[in-house]
Amino acid sequence: MNKSAYFVASAAAFAMLAGPAAAEDLVFNLKNGTGSVLTRFYTSPVGVEKWEEDVFGNQVLEPGEAIEITIADGRSVCEYDMRFEFSEESDLDTTTDTQNLCELGTYTIHE
């Protein structure tokens, strides 16, 4: 192998080893199958003691509506805890669940 071909092959191998593994964004549809307004939605990888920021920000999810959720936190995990909070007028309590978001296409929260 000549010097330039050896250099190119070595550089390519080094680049593959040196770069961190890129985590893919987790994307799924969240549907509100309740009769109440969903005001806050939190996620956090399983085993993390604190909830991440509210995914909705200033938005809410009305009954029957759906929204595409993207979790782009740079982690390479699939199992996430989820927390759902409803409007003050609702008779629904805060709800939590754990799902494999890598395999999830749509998640519907029910009463």
- Do 13 and 43 meet the contact criterion of CB atoms below 8 Å apart? no
100 vs 14, 92, 95, CA distance in Å?
Answer: 33, 24, 17
For 91-104, what is each residue's pLDDT tens digit?
Answer: 999 999 999 998 88
Amino acid type, 88:
E
- Do 46 and 80 meet the contact criterion of CB atoms below 8 Å apart? yes
Q: Kindly report whether the global pTM for this prediction surpasses the value 0.85.
A: no
Domains plus CATH for the chain? Answer: 21-109 (2.60.40)
- pLDDT mean over 2-30: 56
Give all strands (DSSP E) within 4-102, no chain letters: 26-32, 38-45, 66-71, 79-86, 95-100
For 42-85, what is each residue's pLDDT tens digit?
Answer: 999 999 999 999 999 999 999 999 999 999 888 899 999 999 99
12: confidence class by pLDDT, cuts 50, 70, 90: very low
Q: Is the pLDDT of residue 5 over 50?
A: no
